[in-house]
Structure 1
Amino acid sequence: MYKGKVVLAYSGGLDTSVAIKWLMDQGYDVVTFTADVGQVVDLEACKERALLTGACNAYVMDLKEEFVQDYVWPALKANAMYQGTYPLTSALSRPLISKYLAKIAEIEGAVAVAHGCTGKGQDQVRIEVCTKALKPDLKMMAPVRDWHFSRDEEIDYAKEHGIPITVTKKSPYSIDDNLWGRAIECGPLEDPWTEPPSDAFTLTVDPWKAPDGAEYIEITFEEGIPAALNGEEMDGVSLIAKLNQIAGKYGVGRIDMIEDRLVGFKSREVYECPAPVVLLQAKKALEKMTLSKDVIAAKADLELKYAELAYVGYWFSPLREALDAFFNQVQKVVNGVVRVRLYKGQSVVVGLKSPNSLYAKDLATYSAGDAFDHSSAVGFINIWGLPVVTWKQVHDPKNGGCESEVTLSKETVKSQV
């Protein structure tokens, strides 16, 4: 029985490849949508695979520039890292994919959209929440989630139905990648005691195999956004791609963490994100030079909230949009150049300069030229300590407990002697 069209978010991987056949068996015409967000994949081959598997139409769209401008850069301004570690490589692409799922569904007159997420995945939440926020009347379908197949069973199903796939039982990794990084799951990585095998990584070399000499790079930021690399102005897509290549050569950007998933359990997550790791580190250092103490403190709390909103699928929420306004304002003074040293898996900020620097050498120096008024220190200390001193005087008339503390200290010293 024919049920209409469904638009499938199609990566060309195992889950979405078998999903085409499953949806067809349920009575749907399948339209696939593949977003080019910088992943390492032959997009034309992906389109051909979708049509060969049975899709009635296949969209492949280059969204790299939109991905960077509307998703990656806002997240970078917010220093968005889930649980302070994960730079949201996959999470940032989901609202963009959802946006175009809704658009294509409207163009095709589809009654539903589908994805290849499992019931344990968090992308199911992100895609469904974001898509329904934009087009509430769409039905949501998740073949792999409803099917309850293991990955080995999916591989067997694909072979049985002649579905072309690249994954094998010997190489069982589940990969999601884009310009902002790469997420690696499954296989030996599911054991937190097991060191990630070298064959799990493609963007970064093993640090012990990296060049023996260090490389220095300079990143120019304009209002919190990288605008040039080593003095060469670049668009966002090109800069990230180039930095991935340079930092990856030195083994920089590997992340191995125990992550609290949105769906309620902890999982071992492995990522490689050369450019995000370097850019976030560099910009945070520049912020220390250009932002005031109170702004930095307030921003730290909001950064965590921003990352959480992106992680849990609330990208199109009013709170995320309001936070964008705050970060855009704050980043207006985050201008300058950051010098970074890359060596054997590490990136270290070794130099900073900014036209908006709040660092004044004549105040900070201990050498000749010191402009700090040392005579003001006594008065400052008296005023600064006044609340504590007053409290102790009111609540402890016997010199605020100082006498007993001094006596105890002397007795302790005598006993030690």
Structure 2
Amino acid sequence: MSEIKKVVLAYSGGLDTSIIAKWLQDEYQCEVVTFTADIGQGEEVEPARAKAQAMGIKEIFIEDLREEFARDFVFPMFRANAIYEGEYLLGTSIARPLIAKRLVEIAKDVQADAISHGATGKGNDQVRFELGAYALMPDVQVIAPWREWDLNSREKLMAYAEQHNIAIENKKGKKSPYSMDANLLHISYEGGVLEDPWAEPEESMWRWSVAPENAPSEPTYIELTYEKGDIVALNGQAMSPATIMAELNKIGGANGIGRDDLVENRFVGMKSRGCYETPAGTIMLKAHRAIESITLDREAAHLKDELMPRYAKLVYNGFWFSPEREMLQAAIDHSQKVVNGVVRLKLYKGNVIVVGRKSESDSLFDESIATFEDDKGAYNQKDAEGFIKLNALRLRIAARKRQAK
């Protein structure tokens, strides 16, 4: 510990990291530098400055990373249609590499001896933070208090906070709040009644969306314009990536879109139940697949679908900066050169319904061939006979062998 003179802490201002800031000062007798990232969590990040100052912290970094997060992390991931275990849209997973990137950059700038984070020793985030940090700064020293201290429950943390006069929001008597994580892509909930996978979430828990049954009785129609696989406009109005996501969160949440309750397999080996609100991401995934459906070649689209689970697993497990993720990204981005056009969606009581898609320059949909009416010779239906017989050849040979026995 004596070798650690300065530590950069990923600091949210919440329960865990507020306690960690004080704990680092006391246990390591070191200077603490805090870094707070605004990645669209929907809450003011500036109060983190006052909390840090109250603990005597001199170097405080508070940065607006919303555009970088959306442009360089979320949008590339959605070009891949990434979804983990068929349900999870990777909202927490994709935020960690950006935070790790800025952590090590700040550590270099202030000549810190180590970095620190508030991820527990049971979770995925410790892996994501540290894999990201090591990929960018291979000799960095990491302090993970949850793997060192004995404050191993929310109740002990609350008691520690009370003992050291650390202010904690959402405190309800002695009851601990949910463990929540929010950014432009989602908000997650863990702990409390959610630790019983049979228990239905409390309606009061949800923050971004109305219950689908309470959503408006009239549908909301929107149009999303795509260029090279990325959304560039909403209802014809050009917007930045972060602005588009913020708007889709509002529109989707108002229509009851984006709630999910799932049990996932953590990288460390355990199963974990969590609830998520991902209004923008739910809309983006549906819309992106719709525009790909008319612009991507069949085999290119099918290959993307085969690669996607591997890509999603890399993101979930913290390998954003790995060569294999970058290799997959290069292939995915190449496929997106033709993913241009407009998708029209109907949002209704928790549902995202595709009602139209068009691409003036890159559509592969040929109405003259696909029509059920007279195609005027655009497609020779007699060609299908040889096609079918060639594909049936191995099946017919096997059937003959069986019949001969």
Residue 264 of structure 1: aligned partner? 269
Choose the corresponding residue for 1:215, options 220, 229, 234.
220
Max Rg structure: 1
Shift of 1:171: 5.5
Whether contact under 8 Å (2:155, 2:176) holds in the other structure is no
The corresponding residue for 1:9 is: 10
Give the superposition deviation at 1:60. Answer: 0.4
Contact 1:17 1:53 in 2 (8 A): no
**CA root-mean-square deviation:** 1.6
> What is the distance in 2 between the residues matched to 1:54 and 1:254?
40
**What is aligned with 1:96?**
98
CA distance in 2, matches of 1:376, 1:307: 40
TM-superposed CA distance for 1:391, in Å, is 4.1
Are positions 1:364 and 2:364 aligned together? no
Give every structure 1 segment of 4 or more consecutive aligned residues whose post-TM-superposition deviation is greater than 4 Å: none
Deviations 1:306-348 (A, max 9, x none): 1111111111111111111101110111111111111111111
d(CA) in 2 for partners of 1:262 and 1:216?
39
Length, aligned pairs only: 398
Residues 332, 340 of structure 1: CA spacing in aligned structure 2 closer, same or farther, 3 A cutoff?
same
- Residue in 2 that maps onto 1:55: 57
Letter in 2 for 1:318: P
Quote the Cα distance in structure 1 between the aligned partners of 2:383 and 2:104: 64
1:25-76 deviation per Cα after TM superposition (whole angstroms, max 9, x unaligned) = 1111111101111112222111111121232321101111111111111101
Distance 1:18 1:167 in 2: 15
Q: Distance in 2 between matches of 1:375 and 1:127?
A: 59
Residue 381 of structure 2 corresponds to 374
Give, in angstroms, the shift of residue 81 of structure 1: 1.2
Instruction: Tell whether the 8 Å contact from 1:6 to 1:110 is kept in structure 2 after alignment.
Output: yes
For 1:351 and 1:5, the matched residues in 2 are separated by 56
Instruction: Please point out which of 238, 246, 254 is paired with 2:251.
Output: 246
Cross-structure match for 1:113: 115
Partner of 2:26: 25
Kindly provide the amino acid, as one letter, of the partner of residue 318 in structure 2: G
Q: Residues 347 and 397 (structure 1 numbering): CA distance in 2 closer, same or farther, change over 3 Å?
A: closer
The 3-state SS of whatever aligns with 1:389 is helix
Paired residue for 2:167, among 152, 164, 168?
A: 164
Distance 1:89 1:97 in 2: 13
Q: Which moved more, 1:203-212 or 1:289-298?
A: 289-298
Unpaired segments ≥5 residues, structure 2:
none
Q: Name the CA distance, whole Å, in 1 between partners of 2:137 and 2:272.
A: 31
- Relative to the length of structure 1, the TM-score reads 0.92
Question: What are structure 1's unaligned runs of at least 5 residues?
Answer: 402-417
Measured at CA, do residues 383 and 190 of structure 1 come closer, stay the same or move farther in structure 2, by a change above 3 Å?
same
2:46 aligns to what SS in structure 1?
A: helix
- Residue pairs, 1:188-203, within 5 angstroms: 188-203=193-208
Q: Report % sequence identity.
A: 46
Q: Quick check: 198-207 or 378-387, which moved more?
A: 378-387
Change (3 A) 1:30 1:96: same
Amino acid at match of 1:31: V
Shift of 1:84: 2.2
Match of 1:415 in 2: none
Given that residues 336 and 352 in structure 1 are in contact (C-alpha distance below 8 angstroms), is that contact kept between their aligned partners in structure 2?
yes
Distance 1:335 1:307 in 2: 23
The SS at the match of 2:148 is helix
Structure 1 distance, partners of 2:119, 2:230, is: 32
Which AA in structure 2 matches 1:80?
Answer: A
Aligned counterpart in structure 2 of residue 39 of structure 1, from 37, 41, 50:
41
